[in-house]
Amino acid sequence: MLQKTSHFMRQANLIDGEWVQADSGAVIDVINPATGLKIGTVPKAGKAETRRAIEAADAAFKSFRKTSALERSKMLRKLHDAIMDNQDALAELLTMEQGKSLAEAKGEVGASAAYVLWFAEEARRTYGDVVPSPWADRRVIVTKEPVGVIAAITPWNFPSSMLARKIAPAIAAGCTAVVKPASQTPYSGLAWGALCEEVGIPKGVVNIVTGSAGEIGDEICSNPLVKKITFTGSTEVGKILIEKSASTVKKVSMELGGNAPFLIFDDADIDRAVEGAIVAKYRNSGQTCVCTNRFFVQSGIYDRFVEKFADASKKLKVGPGLEDGTQQGPLIDDKAVEKVEEFISDAQAKGGKVVTGGKRHELGGSFFQPTVISGATPDMKFMKEEIFGPVAPVFRFETEEEAVALANDTEFGLACYFYTGDLGRAFRVMEGLKYGMVGINEGLITTPEAPFGGVKESGIGREGGHQGIEDYLDTKYVCIGGL
Q: Which residues are catalytic?
A: 255
What's the closest the beta carbon of residue 231 comes to ligand ADP, in angstroms?
A: 7
What is the distance in angstroms between the CA of the first residue and the CA of the last residue of the chain?
57
Residue 153 or 264: which CB sits closer to ligand ADP? 153
Helices 102-122, 161-173: inter-axial angle, 10-degree rounding: 10
What's the closest the beta carbon of residue 101 comes to ligand ADP, in angstroms?
A: 19
Using CB positions, name the residue nearest to ligand ADP. 217
What's the closest the beta carbon of residue 184 comes to ligand ADP, in angstroms?
A: 7
Residue 105 or 332: which CB sits closer to ligand ADP? 332
Residue 102 or 254: which CB sits closer to ligand ADP? 254
Residue 14 or 153: which CB sits closer to ligand ADP? 153
What's the closest the beta carbon of residue 287 comes to ligand ADP, in angstroms?
A: 8
What's the closest the beta carbon of residue 182 comes to ligand ADP, in angstroms?
A: 4
Residue 46 or 217: which CB sits closer to ligand ADP? 217
Residue 14 or 407: which CB sits closer to ligand ADP? 14
What's the closest the beta carbon of residue 458 comes to ligand ADP, in angstroms?
A: 13
What's the closest the beta carbon of residue 348 comes to ligand ADP, in angstroms?
A: 25
Which chain residues interact with ligand ADP by CB under 6 A? 153-156, 180, 182-183, 213-214, 217, 233-234, 237, 240-241
CB atoms within 10 A of CB 38: 10
Residue 331 or 376: which CB sits closer to ligand ADP? 331
Task: Output the 3-class SS for the chain.
Answer: CCCCHHHHCCCCEEECCEEECCCCCCEEEEECCCCCCEEEEEECECHHHHHHHHHHHHHHHHHHCCCCHHHHHHHHHHHHHHHHHCHHHHHHHHHHHHCCCHHHHHHHHHHHHHHHHHHHHHHHHCCCEEECCCCCCCEEEEEEEECCEEEEECCCCCCCHHHHHHHHHHHHHCCEEEEECCCCCHHHHHHHHHHHHHCCCCCCCEEECCECHHHHHHHHHHCCCEEEEEEECCHHHHHHHHHHHHHHCCEEEEECCCCEEEEECCCCCHHHHHHHHHHHHHHHHHCCCCCEEEEEEEHHHHHHHHHHHHHHHHCCCECCCCCCCCCECCCCCHHHHHHHHHHHHHHHHCCCEEEECCCECCCCCCCECCEEEEEECCCCHHHCCCCCCCEEEEEEECCHHHHHHHHHCCCCCCEEEEECCCHHHHHHHHHHCCCCEEEECCCCCCCCCCCECCCHHHEECCECCHHHHHHHEEEEEEEECCC
